[in-house]
Structure 1
Amino acid sequence: MKALVFDDERTIRKVLEKILKKEGLEVKTFESGINATDIIKKEKPEIVFLDISLQDANGMDILKSMLVMENRPYVIMISGHDEYNYLIEAMKLGAFDYIPKPFDIDKIRRVIKEIREILSAKTVSDSSEVDIVGKSPAMKEVFKIVGRASASNQPVLITGESGTGKEVIANLIHRYSNRSDKPFIAINCAAIPSGLIESELFGYERGAFTGADRSRPGKFQAADGGTIFLDEISELPLEAQGKLLRVLQEMEVTPVGSNKRVKVDVRVIAATNKDLIKLVAENKFREDLFYRLSVIEINLPPLRERKEDIPELVELFTKQALKIHGLKKGGFTEEAVKLLAEYDFPGNIRELKNLVNKLIAIYRDRPITPDLIQIQTGAENKNSFDWKEGIKKEVSEMFIQEKKNIYTKIIEEAEKVVIEEILKYTKGNISEASKYLGIHRNTVHKKIEELNIDKGRE
């Protein structure tokens, strides 16, 4: 491993040369920084120690010139200045680290060790140019339906938890359809105020409302010949649902403020993270629209049910993040990927992608090891969520059995469990239990009587 040192102080050069040679590096030192960029290109070092304030050159300018190098070395900026603004600027320009003078020799050794680990570490940062992956049985079934949907012009309803990638699947259907050379227009129904949803979808004529100083086509006209993706379709107001149904039946739109109907040729894909059948039963979603939209249904599994896809997804998102940040190296170690695969990801793919982007942005080209990933995994994660799932299940069963006073019964059961458990820990000591519970001891006595709690031995 080769290191170059650029510093106009002879003592600094000698000290660094001695330290680096002891660490087993081949070292060359330079007093001038005038030709530093050319020297670095010629020598192709793995590491460069660069003084910020050379007598004949600006270290920051040299650092900036290295940004375009194909195989950029790891740059450690050295300086007699310890102000935060120099540190921020250096890191912004891609420096690996910043070491103020006088040197902390142990710090230099740690930096060399880190770079060695980076150069030897295998990271998952290579993948093909795709935007969706999945080899799990659940995703194979999804891809089968995507293929069938692509061969049809029928409406598609995509369901699944928030963050499972519904828009990606909608885009995939469009890409493989005979409409792929036409527009794909995505609209989030929840993000548009209810008073504007019709004008957004169907367009409006000049003078249709205050501020409408010119006519404007809606999303359906913009998507003519292609596909329109209506995300969060459950949030569409009932009046707009009726108009959408007519568009699906007649394939024509009527802009707001106009009596003229405009023919459109649009494939509709809708998505929701809610139970539309339940909303239909509650008269919050039109039954006829539901059946019209759900000719083809695709249910996307949550990430916790397709954990075998996590390594591939990490690889994909890593490649994307490295490209965004202009990095040629970096990524997750195999151990880090295994750790991620143990996590349930309640936020699904969106949470995983955000986590990968965040870690790449922070650690850049350093290998991301398990100790850098701050998430709750494995059994701990399951325990933290199981109690909520238990309550959901209990509520569901009581609702199906048409039981009354569900709220009161659930709360009483929860109170009973909490008080009984604390009394176990305090060995029946009510005064001590009241401190942990945060309620008066008289209230604890009252609850014991009301809920028929066995207070154990006091």
Structure 2
Amino acid sequence: MTRQRALIVDDEPDIRELLEITLGRMKLDTRSARNVKEAREWLAKEPFDLCLTDMRLPDGTGLELVQHILLRHPQVPVAMITAYGSLDTAINALKAGAFDFLTKPVDLGRLRELVAAALRLRSADGEELPVDSRLLGDSPPMKAMRKQILKLARSQAPVYISGESGSGKELVARLIHEQGSRGDQPFIPVNCGAIPTELMESEFFGHKKGSFTGAIEDKQGLFQAANGGTLFLDEVADLPLPMQVKLLRAIQEKAVRAVGGQQELIVDVRILCATHKDLAGEVAAGRFRQDLYYRLNVIELRVPALRERREDIALLAGIMLKRLAEGTGLSPAKLDDDALEKLKSYRFPGNVRELENMLERAYTLCEDDRITTSDLRLADSVPISENGEANLAQIDNLEDYLEAIERKLIMQALEETRWNRTAAAQRLGLSFRSMRYRLKKLGID
């Protein structure tokens, strides 16, 4: 069996020797280069499964080598070695396409983890990855996003997933995780807006028994649960500023300390995050730390809104209706032509989630397994024109219209916070008392 091979690029003999010995013990053959020129010569002569390169080299930079490998040998994962504390350099390397980075002095445990992850990714090259049945659509925006997901899955870089509510940001995060080197490790999603402020530190980092009232036993935090895998921070813009500071430190140090604990625990976690808010706008308004923003937003992936890919609506609707029929054991229903055209012209502020809810309701109401425009009840879905204005032609009663808007927004806030009423009230800028009144008025249980 052919041994896997790594290229080590560093102008310091001691570092090269340390890396050669460590990788040799991992049963890898190694080749060493002192500069960019020698590295390019090795790459031209032999195939490699991994490259480790220093940032500063006598005749150039590690970034130049990363770009060369991406262009000439895109299947080879590259990890950058940087000086301690040079996070800006590491982030630039990730943006340039590096798989991951290490800081000097090199932590051998971290090195072995990185090499193992890179080789798992390399061994999957050449396998045909099917289009995931959960990420449907043949429109140009969806085809482009699927390609981006495959590319991001090859990296360990933090990714900021932007997009409107209901567009499928968590699904995108899950696919990046599953198709990468951490796919067999935990994927831990957390809605940052649904955690009470006073419990955040304990939820993220865990706590020790007796560290506060109610701490009757040791508890593992989200970082510990995601160790080796991916932590997905949904609605990250909702984190309060004090928690943002602690999160930034955990990401930078790759270590956490439980509430009431004395020792830090090293954690190996890839961070993916999302929010429906404009995160750059939150930074400008002083509600989100700029340093954390730059640490999380190494690469941005935007999920298109449903109205930007209207050609996918027919496909999505057909598959959703088929699933509904399979779930109920009843015969499948079909959209008539007028109903489909109405869906294609609708703005869908709630995106794919709203389409699914609309079709479930229509499937229940329709007769003779045929869904008509009246079954869609688009008037209940807050009619909006293409320019974002209310469509007066479809409004019969102002009070009913306003109540429909209120109901829609409250339901959306409840769904996004997993029916945590306190968090939903905060999302809407309401007191809990006011939220309780509105739930009772609208008959929402």
Give the TM-score range, shorter chain.
0.5 to 0.7
Is 2:179 the partner of 1:159? Answer: no
Change (3 A) 1:387 1:321: closer
Is 2:185 the partner of 1:185? Answer: no
Aligned to 1:245: 248
- Rounded to whole Å, the distance in 2 between the matches of 1:230 and 1:129 is 22
Superposition pairs for residues 212-361 of structure 1, below 5 Å?
Answer: 212-361=215-364
TM-score, normalised with respect to structure 2: 0.55
Query: Which of 127, 137, 142 matches 2:140?
Result: 137
Q: Shift of the alpha carbon at 1:169?
A: 0.8
Q: Shift of the alpha carbon at 1:277?
A: 1.4
Superposition pairs for residues 89-100 of structure 1, below 5 Å?
Answer: none
Aligned to 1:196: 199
Q: Which amino acid aligns with 1:180?
A: G
SS of the equivalent of 1:196 reads: helix
Q: Which amino acid aligns with 2:293?
A: F
Kept after mapping to 1: 8 A contact 2:359/2:376: no
Q: Shift of the alpha carbon at 1:332?
A: 2.7
Change (3 A) 1:258 1:291: same
Aligned to 1:43: none
Change (3 A) 1:140 1:383: closer
Change (3 A) 1:252 1:319: farther
Q: Shift of the alpha carbon at 1:287?
A: 0.7
Q: Which amino acid aligns with 1:231?
A: D
Superposition pairs for residues 18-97 of structure 1, below 5 Å?
Answer: none
Q: How many residues align?
A: 259
Query: Of the two, which has the highest radius of gyration?
Result: 1
- Rounded to whole Å, the distance in 1 between the matches of 2:179 and 2:154 is 8
Change (3 A) 1:129 1:156: closer
Aligned to 2:419: none
SS of the equivalent of 2:232 reads: strand
Aligned to 1:62: none
Q: Shift of the alpha carbon at 1:376?
A: 4.9
- Rounded to whole Å, the distance in 2 between the matches of 1:364 and 1:180 is 44
SS of the equivalent of 2:277 reads: coil
SS of the equivalent of 2:135 reads: coil
Q: Shift of the alpha carbon at 1:387?
A: 6.9
- Rounded to whole Å, the distance in 2 between the matches of 1:315 and 1:129 is 17
- Rounded to whole Å, the distance in 1 between the matches of 2:360 and 2:301 is 28
Kept after mapping to 1: 8 A contact 2:348/2:355: yes
Q: Shift of the alpha carbon at 1:297?
A: 0.4
RMSD between superposed Cα atoms in Å: 2.3
SS of the equivalent of 2:190 reads: strand
- Rounded to whole Å, the distance in 2 between the matches of 1:290 and 1:129 is 30
Kept after mapping to 1: 8 A contact 2:366/2:375: no
Identity of aligned residues (%): 44
Please identify runs of 4+ aligned residues in structure 1 that moved more than 3 A: 361-365
Superposition pairs for residues 113-124 of structure 1, below 5 Å?
Answer: none
SS of the equivalent of 1:341 reads: helix
Q: In structure 1, list runs of 5 or more residues that go unmatched.
A: 1-127, 389-458
Change (3 A) 1:154 1:372: same
Q: Shift of the alpha carbon at 1:363?
A: 3.8
Kept after mapping to 2: 8 A contact 1:131/1:316: no
SS of the equivalent of 2:300 reads: strand
Deviations 1:176-195 (A, max 9, x none): 11111111111100011111
Q: Shift of the alpha carbon at 1:334?
A: 4.5
Kept after mapping to 2: 8 A contact 1:154/1:267: yes
Q: Which amino acid aligns with 2:277?
A: K
Deviations 1:152-209 (A, max 9, x none): 1111101111111111111111121111111111110001111111111111111111
Q: Which amino acid aligns with 1:274?
A: K
Deviations 1:305-329 (A, max 9, x none): 2111111221232233223323343
SS of the equivalent of 1:186 reads: strand
SS of the equivalent of 1:385 reads: coil
Change (3 A) 1:384 1:158: closer
TM-score, normalised with respect to structure 1: 0.53
SS of the equivalent of 2:197 reads: coil
Change (3 A) 1:203 1:167: same
Is 2:172 the partner of 1:172? Answer: no
